[in-house]
Copies of this chain bind each other. A is one copy, B any other.
Amino acid sequence: MSIGIFDSGIGGLTVFKEIAKEFPEADIYYLGDTARVPYGNKSKETVIRYSVEAANYLKGFGIEALIVACNTASSYALDVLKENLDIPVIGVVKPGVETALRFTENKKVGVIGTQATIRSNSYLKLLEEKNIQVFQKPCPLFVPLVEEGIVSGEIAELVVKQYIDELVNKGIDTLILGCTHYPLLKDTIKKLYPHLKIVDSSQAVAEHLHRENLHLNGSGKRKIFITDESESFERFKQMLIGNIPLEKIDISQLCTL
């Protein structure tokens, strides 16, 4: 079986890494839309357009399931993608919520993400259906911090506290990292709030796939496409998953799909 993963850029590589580890025989096709990253500050309409274009591109490789590894795209475009595609489409929101429901004891859960993800209330809606009290906070500086490699130290800790203190003060016992970049800040968050249970989307998606019993056997092929050259993508790819080569595709191929 072959699976497609797409993200606005780097973040989804944390998902790629988990899937590749958990399902070594799956064929995996990844698209990072580095020419238009980030999605988190774009409108719903634009996020849907970009997501449909990315999905159509990956569909060309005969993928049998699609993982939307971007929280913003999962929040805004999942329904449209499910309507348009005749294969299973898996976002990161539902798996994250499932994991949070298993973790929380006091039923108070914090959700952090991009402006767009938080504005969409995608996590909030699913959690409130289960009678969870939800406290949300957009953290627009986290993605640039991670892309700059500032994931620990004084600046990272100050920025983390600036955003998360107020959630912790509300008494949450579980925090959903609602953006695939944020796992890179997990150690700093754990250091500042050691009692918190942290939900990492990439692990949640891999667990979800196991539960869904998808038969992800293939020849272990891995292909990574990007829409623009990017030093930080190259650096992260190397750090997370090593020497898999990158292939650049022309953005106008996406625009006209």
Contacts and interface: CB of A to CB of B under 8 A. Distances in A.
Interface in A144-194: 144-145, 147-148, 150, 154-155, 158-159, 162
A155 B148 contact: no
Contacts of A143: 144
A140 interface: yes
Contacts of A158: 154-155, 158
Task: Classify chain A's interface size.
Answer: 20 to 34
Interface stretch (A39-47, A76-84, A92-100, A204-212): A39-47
Contacts of A37: 41
A141 to B, nearest CB: 6
Chain A, interface SS category: helix
Contacts of A155: 155, 158-159, 162
A129 interface: no
B42 A228 contact: yes
Interface string A16-42: 000000000000000000111100011
A49 interface: yes
A136 to B, nearest CB: 16
A252 B251 contact: no
Contacts of A229: 43, 45
A255 interface: yes
Contacts of A232: 41
Contact of A141 (B35, B42, B144): B144
Contacts of A36: 35-36
Interface in A204-252: 228-232, 251-252
Nearest to A119: B231
